[in-house]
Amino acid sequence: MIIPVLAIFFVLLSIFLLLLSTSIALTVFIGGILVVIVFFHPYWGLLLYLAMTYLRPQEFIPALRAQPLMLILAGLILGTLIVHNSLSRKQFVALNLRQGIFMIIFFALIPISQLQRLYLTGAKDAFNSFLPVFLLFFMIINLITNFNQLKKAFYLLLFMTVFLAANGILQYYRGIDIAGQTMFQGRIRWIGIFEDPNDLGLTILAFTPFALLSMLQKGSSLVKRSLWLVVFLILLYALYLTNSRGTFIGLLVVIVFYLSKKWGPVKGLACGAVLALIMLIAGPSRFAEISTDEASASGRIDAWATGLNLLKWRPILGIGYGDFTEHHPLTAHNSVVLCMAELGLVGLFVWLLLFVSSFEEMQLAERKASGTGFAFYAQAMQLSLLGFFSAAFFLSRTYNEVCYIIIGLCTLLSLFARKEFGYSFLFLSRRTAVRTAIFALGLIVAIKILIMI
């Protein structure tokens, strides 16, 4: 009974406001309906928030510019979540999941990295900077409550990804896209957090494996496979137009890992070598320029060397979140270097734990749920994690929103698979901790070797 009463109230209020201003009346009407929907169905509020994170209408629609829509919507969703959990005496899911705990620790390390220097303003700015990313992760793992909702979120994110890819293709052929954005040095891009072509490429790469596996899925009809082929080609062509070397390396890792699982490591690596050669010949123009003598590559090497020196200087908690460019004119161009330089070995270990634990859980879910939809999604998320991390190794995307969307989806998929198939694992096993430590050490050694080459 409350829903229609509130709806009627906002309709009457909007009619009254029409006498004053059409825009105000429309804003109140839409806002009122939104409040009603989010309050009674906060999951739909999350889907709207995810869609707006990708579409970013507040940045190109004149009437919405300079309006804190995302902040208002996040506040509304979180307020609703708190009310619902209080009434039902339900605990927040983040406290029951190891990625949730790791994320809370990682978030805490960000202001602490500034507090260690007694820099209170820096700690406050660091906290405020990463807060939206943390809230996005927190909303995802708390508002998606079953596997069907998770699948809807997957398809929404895939649809948003295809939209960005198609818009980029439109931008390439028209010179301008629907938001009025133009290309950057012949490379397609979007707006806001996707304004850098590398960010757009990384975002498209994150859900390209889902289209790839759907296209190759056994038992699918010819029509479905054909449709998924079209989707895959749109994403692949858009990746090409971003001219991002990092994302193409990530794509290569995805394909090699998939083929290695399907045909074995020897054939998979052989096919990967052939694909790498094809990319050098026919891939993006910047891909063929990979060389230590090339200006961009030389700048990356210098940044990596600076990152290692900063790690030696402050090995535990780093130099402080967001402070890398105070010690080097360019960003790190490497998410691992950026993390270890700004947050130290502690921050790097916790950040890598998010990836390692999620990847292990996806492998376990694929085995336990073999032959089911859970296994399909688990395989897709393994490829997404590998692709994103491989590309991020050549880009400074430690704090990127898409990274934590992927980890959030992995966290929930593992949770629902455990409930469905009745298995469990330790919160933090010795093997996972040792793997993560060895992984971190291996990455640091690899970076050192690449600098010396």
**C-beta pairs of 117-120 under 8 Å, 24+ apart in sequence:** 117/320, 119/320
- Phi-psi sector, 428: left (phi>0), alpha (psi -120 to 50), beta: beta
Report helix, strand or coil for 68. coil
Q: Let me know if residue 18 belongs to a domain.
A: no
Report helix, strand or coil for 393. coil
328 DSSP assignment: S
Q: In which residue are the tokens 């957090």 written?
A: 193
Residue pair 245/234 in contact (Cβ under 8 Å)? The answer is no
Q: Let me know if residue 4 belongs to a domain.
A: no
Other Cβ atoms closer than 10 A to 4:
9
Q: Is the dihedral of CA 391, 97, 144, 77 positive or negative?
A: negative
Residue-wise over 410-445: b if at least 16 C-beta within 10 A, else e?
A: bbbbbbbbbeeeeeeeeeeeeebeebbeebbeebbe
Q: Let me know if residue 86 belongs to a domain.
A: no
Cα separation of 130 and 111, whole Å?
9
Residue 1 is encoded by which pair of tokens?
């009974």
Number of helical H runs and strand E runs in the chain = 16, 0
Q: Let me know if residue 32 belongs to a domain.
A: no
Cα separation of 8 and 6, whole Å?
5
pTM for this predicted structure: 0.89
Q: Let me know if residue 155 belongs to a domain.
A: yes
Q: How many domains does the chain have?
A: 1
Would you state the pLDDT for residue 292?
A: 46
Q: Let me know if residue 284 belongs to a domain.
A: yes
Cα separation of 289 and 295, whole Å?
10
Domain residues for 337?
93-452
Report helix, strand or coil for 184. strand
Would you state the pLDDT for residue 83?
A: 78
Cα separation of 321 and 194, whole Å?
21
Q: What is the pLDDT of residues 259-310, one digit of tens each?
A: 888 888 888 788 877 877 777 666 665 555 555 444 566 678 899 999 999 9
Q: In which residue are the tokens 């079953």 written?
A: 146
Longest dimension (CA), the chain: 73
Q: Can you spell out the DSSP letters for 198-267? A: HHHHHHHHHHHHHHHHHHH-TT--HHHHHHHHHHHHHHHHHHHHHT-HHHHHHHHHHHHHHHHHHH-HHH
For helices 69-88 and 120-143, angle between their N-to-C axes, nearest 10 degrees: 60
Task: Estimate the share of the chain in helix, then strand, then coil, as percent rounded to the nearest 5.
Answer: 80, 0, 20
Q: Let me know if residue 335 belongs to a domain.
A: yes
Cα separation of 45 and 33, whole Å?
11
Would you state the pLDDT for residue 61?
A: 75
Which of these, 233, 158, 256, 206, lies nearest to 387 by C-alpha position? 206
Would you state the pLDDT for residue 301?
A: 87
Q: In which residue are the tokens 């959030």 written?
A: 408
Low-confidence ranges of the chain (pLDDT < 50): 292-294
Which of these, 113, 55, 160, lies nearest to 340 by C-alpha position? 113
Would you state the pLDDT for residue 264?
A: 84
Would you state the pLDDT for residue 6?
A: 61
Residue 307 is encoded by which pair of tokens?
């990152």
Q: Let me know if residue 35 belongs to a domain.
A: no
